[in-house]
């Protein structure tokens, strides 16, 4: 019998399909439909003009063929300009690689920086795909606990420094965070960057949801550092902001040493990202700024609705953190595990949320709700049902 790679065999199955099996126990009614808050999927389709442009692009025979490994030059140029504008810094197109989604960007960054037996520090709770990929590569993820507070669930650089050892290759941060929605301050990101530089390790910052932040000052100053190309890796996705999850297009931004490794990896994994996906991302950057702001404002209104729905801790459920597409809830059942609570919510109240342990260690008292695919009325219904 063939032998499966032991690192793959030892990695747990993707958790969302397992949780989806609970839906067979739901008993929705027209008066109480299922509130599906499990997966971070936009509730809106792409802009009509984008869909029309992509339909026309598909008729061009050139879009059926390979693009350059690191992406089409107009998209690399345009994203470099956008990052330079948004962060008040200088990012060159040579610093940018277009990827087959944000997950692909993360996987390549990890492969470029770490190998079997190495370690990456990952705040807990975390996006489970990140841990799964590291485990499959034989890379140990070192948990960095996040503490609840007025600003959400935050990691502490001093705690992280105590975890750095001879095998540490990088620290990963996700902001706005999946699963908690917490937004990390520029000061916190500066502190982690200084820590990484001091120890000669990389800092990976995943900003898949940065387009859902309010207007104002740049989200961070990392691109303004004269040393940013030495070990800062920026990860991004076009999927959520333009509702392009099926197009699989994201980006990775880094200095020349890391980018050289990314070119090798990309050529052997994807050869190139989807041509149509890249054209869709370019169309969005060129033409959909106002559409993007409108979608951001819709999500911001849902955050306001969340605050109202949980103002009185309905049913003892407490809103710990929220932002972008996510809310992190503390459930009131000290004698029950999160999976038991989440499954009962599906069965008894037609609410589908994910249990905290899916996202890491020490999360038995927590549930994650992804509110991008429900409207403000649905969020109000969530609070009302939990309060029954």
pLDDT at residue number 322:
96
pLDDT at residue number 104:
97
> What is the percent of the chain with per-residue pLDDT over 90, rounded to a whole number?
90
Considering the domain architecture, whether residues 264 and 352 belong to the same structural domain is answered as no
> Mean pLDDT throughout 345-354?
96
Tokens 């059942």 belong to residue: 333
Considering the domain architecture, whether residues 310 and 278 belong to the same structural domain is answered as no
Sign of CA dihedral 166, 169, 175, 178: negative
pLDDT tens digit string along 2-28?
Answer: 999 999 999 988 888 888 889 889 898
pLDDT at residue number 16:
82
Does this model's pTM top 0.75?
yes
> Mean pLDDT throughout 309-329?
96
Considering the domain architecture, whether residues 228 and 88 belong to the same structural domain is answered as yes
Instruction: Spell out the residues 6+ positions from residue 130 whose beta carbon is closer than 8 angstroms to its own.
Output: 106, 122, 141, 172, 174
pLDDT grade for 43, boundaries at 50, 70 and 90: confident
pLDDT tens digit string along 245-286?
Answer: 999 999 999 999 999 999 999 999 999 999 999 999 999 999
Considering the domain architecture, whether residues 161 and 92 belong to the same structural domain is answered as yes
Considering the domain architecture, whether residues 137 and 14 belong to the same structural domain is answered as no
Considering the domain architecture, whether residues 96 and 243 belong to the same structural domain is answered as yes
Strands 318-323 and 326-330: antiparallel
| Total domains, the chain | 2
pLDDT at residue number 216:
85
CATH number at residue 317: 3.90.1150.10
Residue 256 is assigned to a structural domain of this protein? yes
* Residue 310 belongs to domain spanning: 6-45+291-386
- Output 266-269 pairs: Cβ under 8 A, ≥24 positions apart: 266/69, 266/70, 266/97, 266/99, 266/108, 267/69, 269/104, 269/107, 269/108
Q: Is 164 helix (H, G, I), strand (E, B) or coil?
A: coil
| Model confidence at 39: pLDDT above 90 | no
| Contact predicate 52/63, CB 8 Å | no
> Mean pLDDT throughout 68-75?
98
Q: Is 330 helix (H, G, I), strand (E, B) or coil?
A: strand
Considering the domain architecture, whether residues 81 and 228 belong to the same structural domain is answered as yes
d(CA 90, CA 79): 12
d(CA 262, CA 55): 31
Give the mean pLDDT of the chain: 95
Listed residue (265, 11, 4, 251) closest to 137, CA to CA:
11
d(CA 253, CA 194): 19
């Amino acid at each position: 019998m063939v032998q499966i790679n032991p690192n793959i065999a030892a990695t747990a199955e993707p958790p969302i399909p397992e949780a989806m099996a609970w839906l067979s126990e739901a008993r929705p009614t027209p008066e109480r439909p299922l509130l599906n808050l499990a997966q971070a999927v936009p509730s809106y389709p792409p802009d009509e003009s984008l869909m029309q442009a992509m339909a026309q692009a598909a008729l061009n025979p050139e879009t059926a063929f390979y693009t350059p490994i690191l992406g089409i030059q107009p998209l690399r140029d345009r994203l470099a300009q956008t990052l330079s504008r948004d962060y008040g810094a200088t990012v060159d197109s040579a610093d940018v690689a277009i990827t087959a989604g944000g997950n692909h960007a993360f996987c390549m960054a990890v492969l470029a920086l770490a190998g079997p037996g190495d370690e990456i520090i990952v705040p807990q709770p975390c996006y489970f795909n990140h841990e799964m990929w590291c485990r499959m590569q034989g890379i140990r993820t070192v948990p960095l606990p996040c503490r609840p507070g007025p600003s959400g669930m935050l990691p502490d650089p001093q705690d992280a420094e105590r975890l750095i050892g001879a095998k540490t290759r990088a620290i990963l941060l996700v902001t706005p965070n999946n699963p908690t929605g917490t937004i990390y301050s520029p000061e916190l990101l500066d502190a982690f960057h200084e820590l990484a530089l001091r120890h000669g390790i990389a800092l990976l910052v995943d900003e898949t949801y940065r387009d859902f932040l309010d207007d104002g000052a740049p989200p961070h100053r990392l691109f303004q550092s004269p040393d940013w190309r030495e070990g800062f890796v920026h990860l991004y996705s076009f999927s959520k902001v333009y509702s392009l999850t099926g197009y699989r297009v994201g980006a990775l931004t880094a200095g020349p040493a890391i980018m050289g490794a990314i070119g090798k990896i990309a050529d052997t994994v994807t050869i190139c990202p989807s041509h149509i996906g890249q054209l869709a991302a370019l169309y969005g950057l060129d033409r959909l700024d106002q559409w993007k702001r409108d979608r951001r404002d819709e999500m911001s209104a849902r955050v306001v609705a969340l605050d109202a729905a949980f103002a009185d801790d309905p049913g003892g459920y407490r809103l710990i953190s929220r932002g972008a597409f996510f809310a992190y809830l503390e459930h009131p059942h000290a004698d029950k595990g999160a999976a038991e609570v989440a499954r009962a919510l599906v069965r008894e109240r037609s609410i589908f949320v994910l249990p905290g342990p899916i996202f890491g260690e020490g999360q038995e008292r927590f549930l994650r709700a992804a509110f991008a695919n429900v409207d403000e009325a649905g969020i109000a219904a969530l609070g009302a049902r939990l309060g029954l």
